[in-house]
Amino acid sequence: MQWLNDRCQQQLDAADQANLRRTLKPVDMSDGRTMNRNSTSYLQFASNDYLGLAAEPVDLGVLQLSLPGSGASPLVTGYSQSHSVFEKSLASFTGYEAGLYFNSGFTANEGALSTLIQSQDIVFSDRLNHASLIDGVLHSKARSIRYHHSSVDDLKKRLEKTQPSEGGQRWIVTDAVFSMDGDIAPLAEIAQVARDYNAVLYVDDAHGLGVFGEKVQGSCHALGLSASDVDILMMTCGKAMGASGACVLSQQTVIDFLVQKCRSYIYSTAPSPQTLEVASAQLKKLMLADQRRQYLKELSQYLFDELAARSQQGLFDIQSESHELQGMHHPVHPVIVGDPAIAISLGQYLLEHNIIVGVIRPPTVPPGTSRLRVSLNAAHTFEDVARLLNVIDSYFAKSS
């Protein structure tokens, strides 16, 4: 084992030298806007709990103290009525025939893509897709071509130049919202390209559900896209819904095929019925959350305008392109400083002022784009955002 320890330590030391070491720091959620760490309360701008639902209690009645585990994989005895009810509810809410619940969004994407895509297929993926999408395509063993980020023109050029093998199919795989920038893929145009080139379209809308659309149904619905436009849709329950897990949505035949063939689904212990009851309860709250979404829209516009003004002064960069959908900015806002050491320093300065913000460095983002990822939720106040901005201003004034 010494050789393994030595090899791991060598790479950890290299990460330290590059200011890229990752560590776990336990926190206790207090409410949607604050977290506790070591008995200290912090204003947090780091979670994906966009509607502030995750910290609200869920009354499950008699289930509250029962059903702690499923006891088996889904195809043995682990699949309960609670699983079925949630899958049908989310499918109905989003306009799909059927859904399949997975333990996490990563497992859902990796499992679905590696199962559905065949080796003779060819996959066109956005360069900034989430790691789970990248891994799912990689594990499918199909040929993979990455197009320039959110570039429909580049996607079309690559589609025109490349044909799948005999019996193969074209696929287009993209995030709807790219979580490190909060920018939004040109989904309507991509859906049209998929139709023009007879490609299967797979969209991960983990960060759009609950945020976009008058009925909070997500990015695709906000653009008027339906199940006939987006063949396969993945949505997570652990972000705006405030629960956990994820669901792949498609036609019943596709879902049946995943049940038959998807290894990450078949060979995993099913989540507990209690977990699915929580998800169902949170979905009902989500369906009634448009007022929260409207408030979040105003809050996000305020932060975007303030960050844009500071960006024009040269303090840092922001993502300003494709960050808005139907008049609403996504609640994720990057403060791009470039150097990971500066990102760590700014994050630590905020921490000293009792504010937690996610510090994001390579390989999560490309080299030279280290940043703070400011994430709003409906529990924040305008005063909270002003406090964050004041501390950021203080840091750059001190550093100049």
Q: Closest Cα to residue 161, out of 122, 217, 203, 218? A: 122
Kindly report the number of other CB atoms within 10 A of residue 178's CB atom.
Answer: 24
Contact 351, 42 (CB under 8 A): yes
Give me the residues paired with residue 278 across strands: none
* Residue keyed to tokens 């999408």: 133
In angstroms, rounded to a whole number, what is the distance separating the alpha carbons of residues 139 and 263? 12
At residue 285, what are phi and psi to the nearest 5 degrees?
Answer: -65, -40
What six digits make up the tokens of 345? 């320093």
Q: Give the span between the Cα atoms of 395 and 315, in whole angstroms.
A: 10
What is the Cα–Cα distance from 45 to 249, expressed in whole angstroms? 30
Cα–Cα separations (whole angstroms), residue 221 to 17, 187, 230, 241, 348: 45, 10, 10, 16, 39
CA 273, CA 101: separation in Å to the nearest integer?
12
Report the mean per-residue pLDDT for the chain. Answer: 93
pLDDT for 68 equals: 75
Question: Is pLDDT above 70 for 166?
Answer: yes
Cα gap 206→218, rounded to integer Å: 9
- Average pLDDT for 58-79: 77
Average pLDDT over residues 8-23: 92
Give phi and psi for 7, each to the nearest 5.
Answer: -65, -45
Reduced to 3 states, what is the DSSP secondary structure of residue 384? helix
The pLDDT tens digits of the residues spanning 120-138 come to 999 999 999 999 999 999 9
What is the pLDDT confidence band of residue 55, given thresholds at 50, 70 and 90?
A: confident
Q: DSSP string spanning 228-251?
A: TT-SEEEEESSSTT-S--EEEEE-
Ordered structural domains, the chain, with CATH: 19-53+290-399 (3.90.1150.10), 62-287 (3.40.640.10)
Give 251-267 pLDDT, tens digit per residue: 999 999 999 999 999 99
Which CB contacts under 8 angstroms, 24+ apart, belong to 78-81? 78/269, 78/270, 79/270, 80/270, 80/273, 80/276, 81/273
Percent helix, strand, coil in the chain, to 5, is 40, 20, 40
pLDDT band at 32 (very low <50, low <70, confident <90, very high): confident
Two tokens at 141?
């063993």
Per residue, the 3-state secondary structure of 108-134, as one string, reads HHHHHHHHHCCCCCEEEEECCCCHHHH
**Mean pLDDT within 201-225:** 95
pLDDT at 328: 86
Q: d(Cα 267, Cα 328) in Å, to the nearest integer? A: 41
Which amino acid, 169? Answer: Q
Q: Which helix (H) or strand (E) holds 312?
A: helix 290-312
Q: Report which secondary-structure segment, H or E, holds 207.
A: none
Q: What is the pLDDT of residue 57?
A: 83
* β-pairing verdict for 98-102 and 143-147: unpaired
